[in-house]
Amino acid sequence: MSDHQMGYISVTFLRLFGILPAPKWHRVLRCSLRAFGVLHILGMGAALAVLIVYIAPYLTVPPSSDDSAFVRVFSVSPRFTVVIRSVTITMLLCFKGHEVLCLLHRISDICNSWSSEMKGTFHTKIARSSGLLMCLTFSLQFWTLCCSYAPYMVTPEKMAYYPKTLRAENATLEEEKTSSSIEDPSEDAFWAVLYFEILGLSLSQQGVIIAVLSAAALHLLVTSHNLEINNIEYQVTSDRYIDAEILTGKLERARMCRMVLLQLSKEITACFGRILLVAFFVDQTTVMGTLVALISRKGPIPVEVAVSFVASATSYWVYSTVLLWPLAEVHQEAEQTRVHYYCMVVASWKKFPDESIDCKLYELMQTLYLQSEECEIVISDCNFVHFTRMLLAQTLTSALSFSVFANELVQKSFNTECHRGHSHNFVQTS
């Protein structure tokens, strides 16, 4: 089974930039693309180094009494986190390239051999999901790019890309003198950093999309399994005659399907766990840092600047919630499996009350129910965070709570500054 039936567009995009291994039929092309990918990863690392060079002096200036080091660090963190996300995820995809492709093959084979209904609808649904996710990510990226950089393309004040304006607004006069010796980045450095930032985000997003598509395929399989269990329950509860031996065969197949689903969820976690871990936490950090940067600005905020901050925060919040929603759907559907097992077990006991308690039928029913209780089918990032609806819903409240905390720090610093000003004026008056 070729991998073009499972995330073909994303896989092809990553192969063109040498992140995933190319087909083996052309060794020269395969090596050339891999070298091309390594050069881009090195370029992303160089872009991160440029950002560190131009931002580090601002961070190393000792904070004044009216300036919080915590707020200062978080206000410039989005500049780092976006590139860190790109470098880390693309490197993980390079190291796990063969494992990713093999997993896509395995998912396609399982879905094609699962049932005739699944084989007929799997490719259509996955292709539709792939197109929807790519449109979502590229649209958000283009929107964020326009909102963030359009004002600076019209007016050549590109240093807003770097924290020079932050220094001018938040630093004291003494700090401004200390940091005024920092040279502006050249025109070439600005465009190079911008290129690697945009391309790196696009490449890393394709890796996340492949992980989400794998979870969507698992969700389809779990849904099909639940329908099968529901059909067995209907056959048992209806007035139709069903032999205990036939029911035992159906339950044996259900047990094998359950084992396949559990193993597949573990393989997806092992393959994409670190990628999802980086994407989720870095995107959340970007959202919080963007909100802190907006809150910490002093004076009236221009409309285009406010729109830029809101667009960036919204985009990365969507990346860490809406984009990852199929991962939570897997857990939600797997929770329904437990209910279906319980109803089927109760109906089978009522249908066959004369069967011995240690027969194979009751043993299979007990095994199925206990497995659903003890072994969850859930996608996690290295078993550190389990992707559920509750987790994704809490991300919004966490970001808002963090914004309130940052606003308290900013207001405290502002009140301290006002108190110093009033004290100074009182001394001069006396």
Q: Under DSSP, is residue 80 helix (H, G, I), strand (E, B) or coil?
A: helix
Q: Report pLDDT digits (tens) over 175-185.
A: 443 443 344 55
- Domain residues of the chain, as ranges? 3-429
Rounded CA-CA distance 417/298 in Å is 12
Bridge partners, residue 381, by sequence: 385
- Whole-number pLDDT of residue 74: 77
Query: For residue 268, is pLDDT > 90?
Result: yes
Give the model's confidence band at 214: pLDDT under 50 very low, under 70 low, under 90 confident, else very high: very high
How many residues are present in the chain?
430
**Sign of the torsion angle spanned by Cα atoms 417, 421, 426, 428:** positive
pLDDT at 157: 43
CB 209 within 8 A of CB 133: yes
Q: Which contiguous run of DSSP H or E holds residue 385?
A: strand 385-386
- Is 154 a residue whose pLDDT tops 80? no
In this structure, what are the phi and psi dihedrals at residue 60, rounded to the nearest 5 degrees?
Answer: -85, -10
Residue 240 near residue 348 (C-beta atoms within 8 A): no
Tokens found for residue 192:
């190079």
Residue 187 DSSP label: H
pLDDT digits (tens, 9 = 90+) for 322-339: 889 999 999 888 888 888
Half-sphere exposure (Cβ direction) of 220: Cα atoms closer than 13 Å: 24
Calculate mean pLDDT across residues 358-371.
74
Residue 381, helix vs strand vs coil: strand
Burial of 381 (0-12, 13-18, 19+ CB in 10 A): buried
Among 34-48, 160-174, 224-238, 392-406, top mean pLDDT goes to 34-48
CA angle 79, 85, 87 (to 5 degrees): 105
DSSP E strands in 47-167: the ranges are none
Closest C-alpha among 393, 7, 399, 318 to residue 139: 318
* 410: enclosing H helix or E strand: helix 389-429
Instruction: Tell whether the model's pLDDT for residue 168 goes beyond 50.
Output: no
Q: Are 331 and 389 in contact (CB under 8 A)?
A: yes
pLDDT at residue 151, rounded to an integer: 52
pLDDT for 104 equals: 92
User: Which residue, chain included where needed, has tokens 């996300």?
Assistant: 85
Q: Which residue has the higher pLDDT, 37 or 383?
A: 37
Per residue in 6-31, pLDDT tens? 778 889 899 999 999 888 767 788 88
Computed over every residue of the chain, the mean pLDDT equals 77
What does pTM read for this prediction? 0.83
With a cut of 60, say whether residue 34 has pLDDT above it.
yes
317, 102 contact by CB (below 8 A): no
Calculate the alpha carbon distances from 271 to 9, 38, 91 in Å: 19, 21, 13
What's the Cα-to-Cα distance from 238 to each of 40, 227, 347, rounded to whole Å?
62, 16, 10
379, 331 contact by CB (below 8 A): yes
Burial class (CB in 10 A: 0-12, 13-18, 19+), 417: middle
pLDDT over 50 (residue 188): yes
pLDDT (average), residues 381-409: 78
- Tokens representing 184 are 């502006």
Report, as an integer, the average pLDDT of 307-334: 87
Select from 216, 167, 162, 190 the least CA-distant residue to 326: 216
3-class SS at 380? strand
Mean pLDDT computed over 29-35: 88
Fill in the DSSP letter of residue 161: G
Contact 200, 83 (CB under 8 A): yes
Q: How confident is the model at residue 296 (pLDDT cuts 50, 70, 90)?
A: confident
Whole-angstrom CA distances from 113 to 7, 110, 401 are 19, 5, 47
Helices 116-154 and 303-320, interaxial angle, to 10°? 160
CB 20 within 8 A of CB 10: no
Give 62's pLDDT tier (boundaries 50, 70, 90): low
How crowded is residue 122: how many other Cβ atoms within 10 Å of its Cβ? 23
Greater model confidence, 153 or 239: 239
| pLDDT value of position 245 | 78
How confident is residue 418, by pLDDT bands cut at 50, 70 and 90? low
Greater confidence (264 vs 162) lies with 264
Q: Which residue has the tokens 């996955």?
A: 126
pLDDT at 210: 94
Q: Are 107 and 217 in contact (CB under 8 A)?
A: yes
Q: Please list the residues that pair with 386 across neighbouring strands.
A: 380
Lowest-confidence pick of 131-135, 170-174, 296-300, 385-389: 170-174
**Nearest in space to 208 (alpha carbons), one of 145, 273, 156:** 273
Q: Judge contact between 220 and 122, C-beta under 8 A.
A: yes
